[in-house]
């Protein structure tokens, strides 16, 4: 769970994790949908996950996605783990904030605590997107490599602007299993400040 004292630091290498065992998506969370990094070409067909698969599934479930925020940096050569222009085929806006290191399958999972500047950029990006009337009912997909810790940090950072940190944490824990473990997450209250009524509210299920 968030705040677990025994959890390793976010910037410490973790044991190799099996990307294929991570659920492709989480449940909608106040307008957000946490997902793992779409990868199709480097895995067996039964484990493949692509923007097309994701958007088609959301459409079948009656949800429209308008924005994808990629929190992963590109590799030193500028390459990413998937063709990000696939989002264009579905009229989904793609934005990269490059918060987390470029990942690779089978390597130790390295995560970092997002900086204050990165949190503000994310909050501003998503808030600005939802302020546009045409986007008010569209969902926002967010991913790092696993779609758990770094993704959860950013989503909770946004939600904490509209509700208590505890409620924001609970909402994400329900949306994305297993519940993330991020020792520094309580610092989100210092990065986003108290709830502000004038911020754009996410569509869908509001946090009380």
Residue 199 forms part of a structural domain: no
- Does residue 162 fall inside a structural domain? yes
Peptide bond into 178 cis (omega under 30): yes
Please tell me the pTM assigned to this model: 0.79
Closest CA to 112 of 71, 159, 69, 157: 71
pLDDT digits (tens, 9 = 90+) for 33-73: 999 999 887 778 888 899 999 999 999 999 999 999 999 88
Say if 123 falls within a structural domain. yes
CATH number, domain of 51, equals: 3.90.190.10
What are the distances in angstroms from CA 31 to CA 11, 93, 142? 28, 15, 11
Number of structural domains (the chain) is 1
Assign 194 a pLDDT band (cuts: 50, 70, 90). very low
Structural domain contains residue 26: yes
For residue 103, being part of any structural domain is answered with yes
Range of the domain at 183: 14-192
Query: In this structure, is residue 111 part of a structural domain?
Result: yes
């Amino acid at each position: 769970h968030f705040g677990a004292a025994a959890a390793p630091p976010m910037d410490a290498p973790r044991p190799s994790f099996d990307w294929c065992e991570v659920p492709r998506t989480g449940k909608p969370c106040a307008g957000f949908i946490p997902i793992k990094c779409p990868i199709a070409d480097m895995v067996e067909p039964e484990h493949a996950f692509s923007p097309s698969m994701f958007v088609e599934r959301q459409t079948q479930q009656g949800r429209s996605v308008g924005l994808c925020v990629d929190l992963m940096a590109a590799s030193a050569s500028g390459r990413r783990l998937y063709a990000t222009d696939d989002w264009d085929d579905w009229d989904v806006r793609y934005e990269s904030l490059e918060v987390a290191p470029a990942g690779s399958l089978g390597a130790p999972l390295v995560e970092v605590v997002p900086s204050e500047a990165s949190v503000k950029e994310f909050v501003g990006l998503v808030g600005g997107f939802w302020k546009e009337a045409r986007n008010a009912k569209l969902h926002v997909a967010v991913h790092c490599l696993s779609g758990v810790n770094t993704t959860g940090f950013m989503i909770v950072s946004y939600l904490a602007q509209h509700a208590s940190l505890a409620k924001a944490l609970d909402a994400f824990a329900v949306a994305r299993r297993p519940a993330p473990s991020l020792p520094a997450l309580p610092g989100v209250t210092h990065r986003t400040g108290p709830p502000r009524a004038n911020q754009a509210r996410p569509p869908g299920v509001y946090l009380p």
